[in-house]
Chains A and B, each alone.
Chain A
Amino acid sequence: MTLDGSRPRRVGEVVEANSASFTAQCYNLYDAPPLGCIVRTGSPEVYGVVCRIATEPLDSSRPVLARGENAETEEEVFRDNPQLTRLLTSRFEALIAGHREQDTDRQYLPGLPPPVHSFVYTCDPAEVARFTSQLDLLRLLLNSGPPMADEVLSACLRGAAATHTDPKAFMLRAGKALAVELAGDLPRLNSILKKVSP
């Protein structure tokens, strides 16, 4: 998704996948879509919500060392160690929020996860609005388990609201749907609502 309304673009490809989530590696360092962003991969399309972005060494056996003790600026560190950008990579994990089947959005898990090396694209606003016209993905996200699920969820809603013609009405509808899901857990509901409150 591109919140600034720019065209969808290819941001990376799937390097690891399971039924509930997939991990993609970005082609460019620090080029991961933001938290809560809706991305698409595979054919037929599988939609995911970005939940964990990490920049780490390509080779996990070679930890990153601090190198800027004598440098004046951060840019100087990269200028003095041009190999660094080649040793680091940005990866992000996306929770699978649904898929497309026979031209219909299905907000439940696909039969198979996307294949590794599937390209991952951001979605344009129309696609996001279409996909979030249903809100069953809220339940998938709430029950996804990661400790930051609520953060991901609220970021996703904030982003999606902007793509709808009436963001307030969308948010209200989403809030009510959340209230139904979290009827027995008011503190959690309150904290999410505060995060998405316009």
Chain B
Amino acid sequence: MTGGPNQNGDTSGPAPDSLMDSHGAALGLVVDGSLSQGVEVRLDPSASVEDVKVGAFVTIRGDNNNFFGVVTDVSLGTTDPRLKHTPPPVDNPFIAQVMSGAVAYGTISVLPNLIMPAVIGDDQQGPSAAKTIPPHFSRAYVASQRDVEAVFGKEDQRHFWIGSPLDMEHKLCIDLEEMVKRSIGVFGKSGTGKTFLTRLLLVGILQQGQASTLIFDMHSEYGWGAADPENHRFAKGLKQLFPAQVSTFTLDEDSSRRRQSPFDEVVRIGYGEIEPEDIEMLRETLNLSEVAASAAFNLQQKFGQRHWMSKFLALDGRDSIFEMANEIQVQPNALGALHNRLNRLKRFDFLVESANQDAANRVVEHLDQGRHVVLEFGKYGRDLTAYMLVSNLLTRRIHNQYVDRKEEVEGGQGRDPRPLVIVIEEAHKFLSQSVASHTIFGTIARELRKYNVTLMVIDQRPSGIDSEVMSQVGTRLTCLLDNERDIEAVLEGTPGSRQLRTVLARLEPKQQALIFGHALPMPVVIHTREYGSTNSYEQLSRSAAGWTPPAPGDAMETQKERLDREISELFPEDG
């Protein structure tokens, strides 16, 4: 009596129960495919097409390797093309049951992204990019927690739990250490959860402690938190979760006071700190011609960096401006326009004739202490000119300091500066094709981590970002986008972008994001981890409990130490 798999013949197909513990539910068999297009899996009659969703993880057991992939398409197939012209009498439940799965069946397209040895255990043999596909009739399974962990890593100091894969409870982690090595992009239409996703990433970076962050907080929502109208509650900010590690700077202390957001420093910027490059970047927002903007360079040449702005603004009346135009040999009307536009900057209270403290230095000092800095813009957050001016100006000066220090390290002096992640919003304004080449952000994005500074760009119009800059964004997290050009811009240069496009266009408008790039071994759609409930705050701060701030002077050299060292180098007899 060895007839068939089952004496009573009561099951359809072999049930691989023995494999269930290491794999999820069986899906079907590989029947077709290619490396470029992905493999086609014919679903078992027991697996319904309705249960398999685009973006879900699948493991395929090859002969010698396991393949880990993602569902990129779901389709219906028939063994006989005539079926669609003369459908069977499916009102008979028996016939319907027989037909489904046998004559009419579901297929899924799976893009195998990674290849893993069949036996996991040796750490040396982690998942690697798939350079081949599983053979015919390999069995496909829904990925299990073990598979997900083997691929994305377990939650630990290096791996941060960002969410869970679609339709799975498993924790999906991203590799923060890899993530902060390159620039990061967070994209999505407004209201799709960019801010929450960014908060989570920042919490992750804070917990991990490998890098500092400087957040140009346009809408004052990262430092002290902001209202979460969707859930009718107040989402806490970083300062509330990690008071000891976060410093808040503000441009608008009145707004901070009104919101009862405690701040550590008030930022004031002297006219002397504004450079012609800053004006050039503001050309579009100030509606200045190229000639007018470049006149600032002539002024700088004439009066020197410290005084060009204050002296120029002190000019009064058309005649004196025209006189000046003749003197520095620029077109009088252009200079008039420049004067007119720069006068507008006077309404910013944070701009002063001369600031008592150098804001950039203060920021760097806080960063050196291993703290994270949030710069709240208050009412100026509504003014793009103010946001761009301040963030560009501060970033340029901070970046210069990092470059100096890094070069000293290369010369065998000092210590490596602590890696810094600069967070900017409305990134397409800074990184559009016309200005990316002039602004410091374009420079940072292009030079990668050479000087230990990377960007986190948050934007809703990724198509506005220069493609050269975009190609340098290492890890991209994107919530729903529906504009064709935006989708194209985000996926540009990514392997398998054709398949990802389907996935991206079908994201849900809330709490879902497609993540791909350096921090992950393969693209993945996640359901973002909860942020906002009491429980979630507890979890987020608890996992940070193991974090220890870097011992001062241990990993990097602070501003003061640097000064001391330079003095002792200059005057060795004093030491």
Contact = CB atoms under 8 A, between A and B. Distances in A.
Contacts of B95: 175, 190, 193-194, 197
B103 to A, nearest CB: 5
Nearest to A165: B8
B92 interface: yes
A184 interface: yes
A114 B34 CA distance: 51
Interface stretch (B82-90, B533-541, B552-560): B82-90
Contacts of B3: 105, 130-131, 133-134
B2 A190 contact: no
Interface in A164-182: 164-166, 169-176, 178-180
Contacts of A198: 94
Say whether chain A's binding surface is mostly helix, strand, loop, or mixed. Answer: helix
Contact of A175 (B2, B7, B94): B94
Given A179-B98, A180-B102, A189-B103, A197 B7 contact: no
B99 to A, nearest CB: 7
Contacts of B9: 132-133, 135, 164, 169-170, 173-174
A186 interface: yes
Given A133-B9, A176-B12, A104 B2 contact: yes
Contact of A186 (B10, B45, B86, B101): B86
B124 interface: no
A175 B8 contact: no
Contacts of A84: none
B4 interface: yes
Interface residues of B, number: 28
Contacts of A135: 4, 9
B103 A169 contact: no
B357 to A, nearest CB: 80
Given A169-B10, A170-B10, A197-B92, A176 B79 contact: no
Nearest to B88: A190
B65 interface: no
A87 interface: no
B89 to A, nearest CB: 7
A171 B10 CA distance: 9
Nearest to A106: B3
Contacts, number: 92
A186 B97 contact: no
B94 A134 contact: no
B89 A194 contact: yes
A164 B103 contact: no
A166 B8 contact: yes
Contacts of A71: none
Interface in B1-24: 1-4, 6-12
B80 A184 contact: yes
B10 A176 contact: no
A130 B98 contact: no
A75 to B, nearest CB: 42
A136 to B, nearest CB: 9
A170 B10 CA distance: 6
Interface in B45-100: 45, 79-80, 82-83, 86, 88-89, 92, 94-95, 97-99
A183 interface: yes
Contacts of A171: 94
Contact of B103 (A165, A174, A186, A194): A186
Contacts of B103: 179, 183, 186, 189
Interface in A126-154: 129-135
Contacts of B80: 183-186
Contacts of A164: 8-10
The 9 closest A-B pairs by CB, nearest first: A175-B98, A183-B79, A179-B102, A133-B3, A169-B10, A134-B3, A176-B102, A197-B94, A173-B9
Interface of B: 1-4, 6-12, 45, 79-80, 82-83, 86, 88-89, 92, 94-95, 97-99, 101-103
Given A130-B3, A165-B10, A175-B97, 13 more contacts: A132-B9, A135-B4, A176-B12, A176-B45, A176-B101, A179-B102, A183-B102, A183-B103, A186-B80, A186-B82, A186-B86, A190-B89, A193-B88
Interface of A: 104-105, 129-135, 164-166, 169-176, 178-180, 183-187, 189-190, 193-194, 197-198
9 contacts: A130-B7, A169-B8, A172-B98, A173-B12, A175-B102, A178-B98, A189-B103, A193-B94, A197-B94
